[in-house]
Amino acid sequence: MPQTMTEPSPVRHPTPPPPMLPQPEADPGPVAAGLAVERVDTSFLEALIGYNARRAALTIIATFIPRMAQFGLRPVEFSVLTLIGHNPGITARQLCATLDLQPPNLVGMIKGLEKRSLLEKRDHPNDRRAQGLHLTAEGESQLEQAQATALALEIDATPRLTPLERVTLLRLLRKIYQPDA
Amino acid sequence: MPQTMTEPSPVRHPTPPPPMLPQPEADPGPVAAGLAVERVDTSFLEALIGYNARRAALTIIATFIPRMAQFGLRPVEFSVLTLIGHNPGITARQLCATLDLQPPNLVGMIKGLEKRSLLEKRDHPNDRRAQGLHLTAEGESQLEQAQATALALEIDATPRLTPLERVTLLRLLRKIYQPDA
DNA sequence: TATTGTTATACTCTATAACTATA
DNA sequence: TATAGTTATAGAGTATAACAATA
């Protein structure tokens, strides 16, 4: 079954809210109602790869969205255009299999990008049911700028990672979602 | 603004669909309609940390969901219970800030967990507007089992990572979404 | 019989506005 | 005036079922 991981948003910091310090009282009394939580302990969640991967992905997507807005491209649309650009003639079915999308959800996206003259459908060379997808000249141009933006924003979104750490991170993440690799 | 990254699902493999090999014809003719795509080139996307982090997170969540179904806990509910368990008396506002959730979206979740007798609200020691959240005995018991399941499934979902690689991965991911750290 | 692309539709998750009661 | 919790609601994202055309 298809993907998921909706859009994010500026992403709220894991920063604990204004502490709400427990008043140093003479007698705290019994722990009846309990004490206020000063600092939130997230140690267990932080030990889970799934939790950390999700938070990291959302952080980067939060930077991705506003910067790609200038091209009118959402994350999935960027991925679709990129795959078409690097694989002229790719079919909708191949896009779905590669990006883990449901065919019905790709239809509208393709229509929209086609209406914006970023891509076009052509006859498939050996399957009349399918259609080969190709970028238009404008699509190529837009994608080129969008890709440059994507590469730059990733660096900005992960300023504390060294070049070597980025390479390591990419390798480890691929080992998770790629059966082979 | 709040989080995101909806549920996933078994996650479809990045495996390219049945190749659809181009028939070795005598005359391929002009590249008019183009050739069929045999293997999908995903090299550009695979160079993006955001893309890889998202795919990896979805892969793990795809394993998380069915295994946590026995406890009736979705990913976010598991995170909420875990934080309450490790932070007795935490407020809804603190949960929202920590997990990047919108307050309105947490209300129903708290209600549901409370109705299932997994947690309870108590008076907040020094703010009558707020409520301290606490696990019930049953909640503690359920959480204990759920956490053990979570730790185990992560290993199963990332079988190709060595213990050292897991530690490295956690550290790098945290450097992305934690401003400090 | 299986597959590509499609329509229609339902479900889940997330976001925004506005209200109350307290601070 | 600001904040905690709440309600109602809108919106985006994702899911399944069923169909026509072609393999």
- A150-160 confidence digits (pLDDT tens): 999 999 999 99
- B121-177 confidence digits (pLDDT tens): 999 999 999 999 999 999 999 999 999 999 999 999 999 999 999 999 999 999 999
Smallest CA–C1' separation from B8: which nucleotide?
D14
Q: Taking the model in full, what pTM does it have? A: 0.86
Smallest CA–C1' separation from A62: which nucleotide?
C14
Of the pLDDT bands very low, low, confident and very high (cuts 50, 70, 90), residue B34 is confident
pLDDT value of position B30: 35
Interchain contact, A90 vs B40, CB within 8 Å: yes
Interface of B with A in 150-179 (CB under 8 A): 150-151, 154, 157-158, 160-161, 165-166, 168-170, 172-179
Is B99 buried (19+), middle (13-18) or exposed (0-12) by CB count in 10 A? buried
Q: Which residues of A touch B64 (CB under 8 A)?
A: 50
Domain boundaries, chain B: 43-157
pLDDT over threshold 60, residue B27: no
B93 touches chain A (CB under 8 A): yes
Q: Which residues of chain A have pLDDT under 70?
A: 1-33, 181
Please choose, from the candidates B138, B88, B96, B94, the residue with its C-alpha nearest in 3D space to the C-alpha of residue B113: B138
β partners of residue B123 = B131
pLDDT value of position B181: 67
**Phi, psi (rounded to 5 degrees) for B123:** -65, 140
pLDDT value of position A5: 53
CATH of the domain spanning A43-157: 1.10.10.10
Interchain contact, B86 vs A166, CB within 8 Å: no
Interchain contact, B16 vs A94, CB within 8 Å: yes
Of the pLDDT bands very low, low, confident and very high (cuts 50, 70, 90), residue B7 is very low
pLDDT value of position A33: 52
Mean pLDDT, residues B43-52: 98
